[in-house]
Amino acid sequence: MDTLFTLATLAAAIRLAVPVAVAALGEVLTERSGVLNLGLEGTMLFGALAGYTGARVGGPWLGLLAGLGAGAACGAVLALLMVVVRADQIVTGLAFTLFAVSATTYLFELSYTIGEPPPRIESLSMVPLVVIVLAVLAGVWFLLTRTVAGLVLTAAGDAPGAADALGYRVAHVRSAATVAGCALGGLAGAMLVCGPLGLFVQNVTAGRGWVALALVVFARWRPGRAVAGALLFGLCDAAQLRLQGTATAIPYEVFLALPYLVTLVALMVRARRSDTPAALAIPFVRGRSR
């Protein structure tokens, strides 16, 4: 019984970690370029709704593609505002997430009757989802550590003036990184609903985008560590679900908060040794940074 309990908890941990891991990998790309995307939670919501709609039309694989496309579209909007227009990145990201919560709820309620359970969709097994996570991890790691494009992206976040002096267009690099990172964020939202969950509900991401943001800092902007942090979050989330089913006098709200509390503690411990990109959230104007 203990073995079955442990295996079931581990399986649940992997299932819960998958969307957080992909979202965190996307945010690693964006932040390494110098853009702080606090709109990740909203991007995941749009990706989840697009993924659910796409899956209803053409199955879960189309749902994943729809989520990827919706995330890229969100990234294009955010890049326009934060990189081209140079709006405040913190305010822009927060406003985008607040807009996404309302917009996805409204769009969903236009299609489905309030009070009735939404129809379920065909779900992908955990095996394809884990393979996707590993493929994204390998791709992000290879890009950042083994390619010239990765070096330029990192330079845009650490020394944008030097990258500009070498002839690279910092705004173009940051825009591309924002679109790519948000595309992965939208894919993460789609994986959430096209996986074992199999449906979309209001605010389905439940703060997972914020957790992914925290895990990027916890991981010190390293892809492998970001995935490891997502597994830690998934394990705590799976544990709290199991603990809720046990006979205890502890209020269930305490168990609900457990994975988020562990994430905060881990973040505080790791933040002391943070390797924050030097130009993170600092707009770049050609010839000077401000």
**Chain segment 77-129, per-residue pLDDT in tens:** 999 999 999 999 999 999 999 999 999 999 988 877 666 677 889 899 889 99
pLDDT score of 188: 97
Instruction: Report H helices in 124-197.
Output: 126-146, 148-158, 160-165, 170-192
What pLDDT digit, counting tens, does each position of 159-170 carry?
A: 999 999 989 999
What pLDDT digit, counting tens, does each position of 238-276 carry?
A: 777 666 655 565 665 666 666 667 667 766 666 565 678
Predicted confidence band of residue 232 (pLDDT cuts 50, 70, 90): confident
pLDDT score of 225: 92
- Does residue 198 carry a pLDDT above 80? yes
Average pLDDT, the chain: 87
Q: Average pLDDT of 5-18?
A: 80
CA atoms within 13 A on the CB side of 170: 30
Share of the chain above pLDDT 70, in %: 84
Q: Average pLDDT of 188-214?
A: 91
The residue whose two tokens read 């791709």 is 139
pTM (predicted TM-score):
0.90
The residue whose two tokens read 């939404």 is 118
> Using alpha carbons only, how large is the chain's radius of gyration in Å?
19
H/E stretch holding 137 = helix 126-146
The first and second tokens of residue 194, run together, are: 């096209």
Euclidean distance between CA atoms 47 and 182, whole angstroms: 9
